[in-house]
Structures are given as C-alpha cells and as structure tokens.
Structure 1
Amino acid sequence: MVITDNLLSSLLQTRAHSEEICAPLQTEDYVVQPIVDVSPPKWHLGHTTWFFEEFILTKFKIDYKRFHDDFAYVFNSYYESIGKRVIRTNRGNLSRPTVSEVYDYRDYVTNNLQSLLEEIDNKEIRSLVEIGIHHEKQHQELLLTDIKFILGNNPLLPKYNDTFDENPKKEISSLYHTMNEGLYEIGYKGDNFCYDNELGIHKVFLEKYSIAESLVTNKEYLEFIEDKGYKNSLLWHAEAWDWISTEYIKTPLYWHKIDEEYQQYTLTGVKRLDLDAPVTHISYYEAFAYAQWKGERLPTEFEWEAAEQFFDWGSRWEWTESSYLPYPNYTKAPGALGEYNGKFMVNQKVLRGGSVATPRNHTRPTYRNFFHPQLRWQFNGLRLAKNK
C-alpha cells in the first residue's frame, strides 16, 4: 500500500540519517560519557534500534529471534515495566558491545523491520513504526548535542566537521507583536503524527501581551554579562543563584575568553563569537535572569503558541515560563509506551520551537520539549515577552 511504502521510505531514511550523523566520529568518540545527561553515541545507536526490536519485532514478526539476549538490558533507557537496564550513569562504561557489533545490530533490526512492513499491512504496526521513527529523530538531535558536548569538553576542542552551520543567517528585528486578550485554542489539531503531550485541545485565556519577533542575540546577552548580570543576586531565583555560585557559571556554555575576546566552541571548531547570532546553550535560570535584567519576562508556552505565526522559529529551542504539565484530558498510552512522556511531567520547564540540530519534519507549533531548568547542553535560547 502507498501508506506503507511512504512509511518504509521514512523509516529507512531515518535509520540512515543516524549513521550519517555519526560518520565523522572516530571509534574512540562513540563511548565517551562526560556527564550523566550526555549519552555515548554508540548507546544512542543501540537504544533507537532496541526500541524497534522491543516494541515491534518481538511482538509482530513471527519467529523473530533477538539479535542478542543481553542487548535489551544494555539499551533500555527508562522503561521500568520492560525490565532491568544499565543505569544511566554507567552508559559510558560499555566498551562492549563494540561499535561494529552495534552497527550489525542496526542492520539486523532494520532489515527485519523492512520485511515486516512488506509482509503485513497492520494499522497498529504502522502506528508503532511511526512512533519509532520520531523517537529516533529525537535521538538524532540528542546525538548532535551530545557529540558537541563530548568534543567541546575534550581539551583539544576538536572539530566535528567543517560544514555544520550552527548560526544560519536571519534578519534581526526589534519588533514586538501585540496579542489581544482573549481565548486561544491550544494543542495539536491535525491528522499527522504528534506526541501524546500535545493532545487534549483546550482553550486558555490570555491577557494582552507583546512578544519579540527575534530571539535574543549574543551581542545583547554580552551586554548582560558586561553589566555584571551574573553577579547580581537580585536577578536570579534562589535555586539558580546557588547553581551559578556552586558551578562557577559566568557565561553561556562553550564561551571562552581568549586574548580578551569571547570565542565560542562550535561543531566546526572554535570561532570568534558571532554577535548577531541568537544566544544559545543557556539554562532556564539564565534566560529568566536575562529577562529580569531587561525588565521583561519569558513567554508562557501558550503565549508562544498563540503568536508563533508572527516569528521565524526553529534555530533554537526557546525556554518558556511554563512548567511541563499534562493538558486537560491528557491520557497516557497503555503499557510501557505510557512511560514515554507522562512520567516526566514534574520539575521541568517547557521549551518550544526547534533547533539547528532538530531533524527535518520533526517539529511543529504544538511540539513541547522539556528539560530541567539548569540544563544547557541543547541549543537553548530565549525570546522575550512583556505585558501589553
């Protein structure tokens, strides 16, 4: 069927793209885990493969034999109901299975998925494959940001490649768009793929507000630094002040002051700081403090969604002032897949938009990303809002 043909094409393209991302790496790069939030590239490749094997092949392919009996233990991430797993902090200890074995595992599972889709036209299988595709796309974004952290914390600051453009040129505008008070409908309304955390279409009442057309730039953020923004406790949440004091945070991640000039580590190596580029690799704490310094604020995720048609988004995940919570009438998926989003709806902030690391066809105005407020290894930025 056409639907299956399109799905198979998307599956094969997605599986190939993960390997294209890893193509510039040396074998030694595949195993490094500098911090708990960063997983080794080899683990990403194995985990996304395990997802298809666990949730599709073992359930729907007749006489399917797992590639390796221990791989479910090695590559399960957080699915408690599936079984035991290697704890997150120990992923960097996995010198085995080898990189070569992981690529063999990928080939084995991809080939079995292809034959399954060619043999059976089943709505449930198609739905699960689509989830698996978008799950792997999420990990492609994580692969790039994790690779950047791995290389960017190597004392040699090696390049990833010579072509990845972190700062595509965009027009900078000082314009703010005014949104009238009223009821706005929030949530995904289409017929294509979305995650369950985008569902539960509902209305929210918003007071009149204005929202910036452009993201905050490096030049603007540098003014905050030079005005001793990181030393002014009045701008920060108490928890944030403890964080910057304990961790000695003085600039966004990957900024280096060399010969009295700020430079930035990028995937193409160390470059002079591009003052016109949107600031990136900042935490929610830093985004909030900058907004306080400007006498403005971060938009809520609902304000962002209501106004998204007025600005060009997608070069940075944008911090919002909203906590990551379920929408009205939100329902978790049954079984283990119900652990995908719902179990994380506590102590996290919502980000909207997308980033230069986000794969094509993987973001939309209703997409809700979420991270803990101190995390900044993703391409995180900010857009300002103000009342009226």
Structure 2
Amino acid sequence: MLTIESTQPLKIDNCSQEEIINYFQNSWQIEDILFKSLIENETFYLNPDPLRNALIFYLGHSAVFYINKFVNVGLLDKDKRINSEYEIMFEIGVDPETPEELEEATSKRKWPHVEEVWQYRDKAYQVILDVIKNMPLNLPIHQNHPLWSLMMSIEHQRIHIETSSMLFRQLPTDKLKRPQYWQYAPSNSNFPDNEMILVSGGMITLGKAEDFPTYGWDSEYGTLQIEVKQFLASKYMITNGEFLEFVKDGGYENQEYWDKESWDWKQQYQVKQPKFWIPEDESYQYRTIFEEIDLPLDFPVEVNHYEAMAYCHWKGKGMRLMTEAEWNLAAYGAGTNGNSPEQYNIGNYNLNFKFGSPSPVGELATAESPSGLYDLRGNVWEWIKDEFKPLPGFKTHHLYRRLRRRCHRRLRRCGGRSSGQRRPSARRRRHP
C-alpha cells in the first residue's frame, strides 16, 4: 500500500548534508501536499477556527519563519530578503482569547493573492536549499550553532503540518479533497475492555539532556527529579466508544462533572459532544481531516482538557489525568526520561504518517510501553494534569524569544502521528 512517508528525525550530532536536505525537503513536501488539498483559492481566505488566522497565513508562515531565522543568525544577508512585507505579515501568528479580539487584531490586514504566496514559497524553498548546500557543516549542531535555526525551522514547519490539519478538519468537506496515498487507519468498530494497570513507582527525571542527538525546543531543557508513587492507569487511551457512554449518560448536561470555567465554556459554545463528532439520527459521524465517516469506536477520543476532566469526574472513584511525572514513568520506566536514543524506534508506533489518522487503541502490539500501557507514544496527543511550567534551569532560546507569550496553558504529552519524535518536546504549550 502506497502512503505518504515522513523522514525520521535528524541526529544532529551525526548527520550529512544530504540527510539534512532530505529532511527539509520532506517537511516542505508534506506541507505542500496538505495545502494543495484545498480545492479553491477562496478557501485560503477562510478561518475555520474563530481563534486562528485565515488559512493563507499558514501557507506563508513556515516559509517566512525560515527566512527570518536565517537573517537573525547571519545565514542570509538582510539585503537577500525575498519580500520584507511578507516577512512581517506572515511572521507571527495570533493567540486571542476571543473571536472579537482576533477581529480587532486582523481587521485592517489585507491578504495577498494566493498565487503570490505560492510564488513566495517557491522562492523561499530555493533560498533555503542554497543555504543548506553552501553552509559548512560543523557537527554537532548545538543550540548556538547557526544551523540550529534550520533545525528549529524544520521542526516548526512539522508542528504546523499538524496544527494546519486541525484547521482543515473544521472546513466544510466540499472545500478540500483527500490527497492521494493519505491513508486512514482501519477500524473494526469494536473497542476493547479498558482494564486498570498497576504502574510501579520510582524516581524519574524530567528534561532533555543538552547533548541529546535530536533537536529540542527550549521548554524541553532543564532538569527535575521526582519520586513517583505507584498508581493505576487505564491500559488504553479512552476510546470513542467509551466516551460515547459518557455522552449518552448526559455527561454534557450534568454540571456536577464540570468546574465553573469549563461549564462556562460549554455553555458559551453550546457544546454537546466532541468537536469532530457530527450528530446523525441516533448516532454520530466522525470528521477526519478530509471527510466524514462512521464513528470509529476503537479510535482514541479527541477532546479538550475541559472534556477530559469532565469524563474523569463522571467515572468517579478518584479518576483523574496522569501527571507529567506519572506519564514519563509509565512511558519509559523508573530511572529514565525518554532520552535514550534507542527509545526512538519510530516504526513501532503510529508516528511519521504510519497512518493519516488516529489508529485503534492497542492495535499496534509494538506500541506497548514497559508499564503495560499502550500508545503513550504516537497516535494522538494526551492531556495530563499539570499546568505548563518551565523546568529548573530553563532558558528562553534567543531565536524564539519574540514568539513567547504570557498565557495560561495545559500540558499535553506524546508526539503527534505526523512527527517522528516522541520526545520531551511534548512539553509544548497548547490551548485547553
């Protein structure tokens, strides 16, 4: 079966120029494939999520990010900029609290023609490729190395492949077409019994080693040792089938399962089921990125933090989300923090576009962690209990300083299926 393939992450202490070029080209190609799934130019001017920019912003954003970072570190002279207007317009995204705030921030912005942004991308691609070919490759590529800007730009682009796909998922289905070879995981419509597994306690270390041989975001670094007590956790991620029981039991109508903030959110947006469930008669359809299909009961449910917490309260008996420390213990075992290179056996998990969708929980026998829990790496992101806080020793990287914002975030763990890494960089900030 032909599929879209994603190149494995670079080892920045031992990579060749050819490997860097391949990794860059693969990232660029996948983003191209995704955006070319939009059928009409007019679609690029829609913002399917009321808290995000129009889609045309994301068409230009990744390319501009490369160019601006190259200028920042001297890999590209300022007079070699491609389009200074674009390199301001498409540089920094938005993170509003309300749609009204977004409207106020962008109401005077006039987007260029789609064809012109594609032309900019083509020019940027060639500039980036020329920089890679002409830059001396002195290994390792560390945080103060000029090519760190390239590694940052590639990983940033891969993040946006995933986040853009979630925006596409909110478009009407007649606005896009599934690309050739974009394969969904098969579902057998039955979901497994989800027994509780005892996870033995132990000492774990949070934080990515400074000399770890893959790229890391600044929020990954620092060190914190934590003693974790034993705990019980579900063998599998919560499935659509399990969450359907919560919905049918009136979970979205019972205020006792929701705190004030989450109930206010639910009431404001009139939420009655997970975002990508579409009511149909007495059942639900499921929105993939490109189409509507029958609800795959064995796929992990995709909800926000509010909904995840409400489900835990509905289950009762002290049910809650795992902490970051517990998650790391379950994923890797005591005495580790996921920093061993042998942890990155990508083929064992729903990573790197093994599928272009979530996959049934526990379907991949190789996705079992040492604790006996499944899918802690790959498949979908998982919510955990902790709020986002920097680790001791954290330092903001100078190339990312302008993009930091003061904001309240929850932590999610586990690498997305479009990325090759399940890494401590899962310590990324996301909306609840």
Q: TM-score range by the shorter chain?
A: 0.7 to 0.9
Structure 2 counterpart of 1:320, one-letter code: I
Equivalent residue in structure 2 for 1:276, among 281, 292, 298 = 298
* 1:179 matched to 2:241: no
Question: What is the match of residue 279 of structure 2?
Answer: 257
Q: CA deviation at 1:343?
A: 3.4
Question: What is the match of residue 49 of structure 2?
Answer: 35
Deviations 1:247-277 (A, max 9, x none): 2111001322222222222234222212222
Q: CA deviation at 1:57?
A: 4.1
Question: What is the match of residue 35 of structure 2?
Answer: 22
Question: What is the match of residue 383 of structure 2?
Answer: 319
Question: What is the match of residue 143 of structure 1?
Answer: 164
Deviations 1:195-238 (A, max 9, x none): 11111122012222122221111111111111111122111111
Question: What is the match of residue 364 of structure 1?
Answer: 423
Is 2:178–2:290's contact at 8 Å kept on the other side of the alignment?
A: yes
Label 1:328 to 1:166 Cα distance change in 2 as closer, same or farther (>3 A): farther
Q: Secondary structure at the match of 1:45?
A: helix
Equivalent residue in structure 1 for 2:411, among 344, 350, 354 = 350
Q: Distance in 2 between matches of 1:261 and 1:121?
A: 59
Equivalent residue in structure 1 for 2:58, among 44, 60, 79 = 44
Is 2:33–2:179's contact at 8 Å kept on the other side of the alignment?
A: no
Q: Distance in 2 between matches of 1:325 and 1:181?
A: 23
Structure 2 counterpart of 1:16, one-letter code: Q
Q: Secondary structure at the match of 1:229?
A: coil
Structure 2 counterpart of 1:308, one-letter code: A
Structure 2 counterpart of 1:102, one-letter code: V
Q: Secondary structure at the match of 2:320?
A: coil
User: Alpha carbon RMSD of aligned pairs, Å?
Assistant: 2.7
* 1:102 matched to 2:123: no
Q: Distance in 1 between matches of 2:126 and 2:60?
A: 15
Identity of aligned residues (%): 24
Q: Distance in 2 between matches of 1:167 and 1:297?
A: 29
Number of matched pairs: 357
- Runs (5+) with no aligned partner, structure 1: 80-86, 374-388
Structure 2 counterpart of 1:317, one-letter code: W
Label 1:206 to 1:51 Cα distance change in 2 as closer, same or farther (>3 A): same
Q: Secondary structure at the match of 2:146?
A: helix
Label 1:78 to 1:98 Cα distance change in 2 as closer, same or farther (>3 A): closer
Label 1:192 to 1:355 Cα distance change in 2 as closer, same or farther (>3 A): closer
- Runs (5+) with no aligned partner, structure 2: 1-13, 95-100, 333-368
What is the correspondence of 1:302-317 to structure 2 with a 5 Å cutoff? 302-309=325-332, 310=369, 311-312=374-375, 313-317=377-381
Question: What is the match of residue 129 of structure 2?
Answer: 114
Q: CA deviation at 1:192?
A: 1.4
Q: Distance in 2 between matches of 1:107 and 1:157?
A: 24
Q: Which is worse superposed, 291-300 or 93-102? A: 93-102
Q: Secondary structure at the match of 1:256?
A: strand
* 1:293 matched to 2:297: no
* 1:126 matched to 2:147: yes
Is 2:252–2:272's contact at 8 Å kept on the other side of the alignment?
A: yes
Is 1:184–1:206's contact at 8 Å kept on the other side of the alignment?
A: yes
What is the correspondence of 1:161-240 to structure 2 with a 5 Å cutoff? 164-165=182-183, 167=185, 169=187, 172=192, 174-189=194-209, 190-240=212-262
Label 1:35 to 1:371 Cα distance change in 2 as closer, same or farther (>3 A): same
Deviations 1:153-205 (A, max 9, x none): xxx68654576455555984624332233321112233211111111122012
Equivalent residue in structure 2 for 1:70, among 64, 85, 102 = 85
Q: Distance in 2 between matches of 1:73 and 1:33?
A: 20
Q: Distance in 2 between matches of 1:198 and 1:29?
A: 36
Q: Distance in 2 between matches of 1:150 and 1:95?
A: 22
Is 1:39–1:92's contact at 8 Å kept on the other side of the alignment?
A: no
Give the TM-score, by structure 2 length: 0.75
Structure 2 counterpart of 1:118, one-letter code: K
Structure 1 counterpart of 2:427, one-letter code: R
Is 2:257–2:310's contact at 8 Å kept on the other side of the alignment?
A: yes
Is 1:157–1:265's contact at 8 Å kept on the other side of the alignment?
A: no
Query: Comparing both structures, which one devotes a greater share of its residues to helix?
Result: 1
Question: What is the match of residue 353 of structure 2?
Answer: none
Q: Distance in 1 between matches of 2:180 and 2:263?
A: 37
Q: Distance in 2 between matches of 1:94 and 1:208?
A: 53
Structure 2 counterpart of 1:292, one-letter code: H
Q: Secondary structure at the match of 1:183?
A: strand
Question: What is the match of residue 333 of structure 1?
Answer: 397
Is 1:33–1:92's contact at 8 Å kept on the other side of the alignment?
A: no
Label 1:55 to 1:248 Cα distance change in 2 as closer, same or farther (>3 A): same
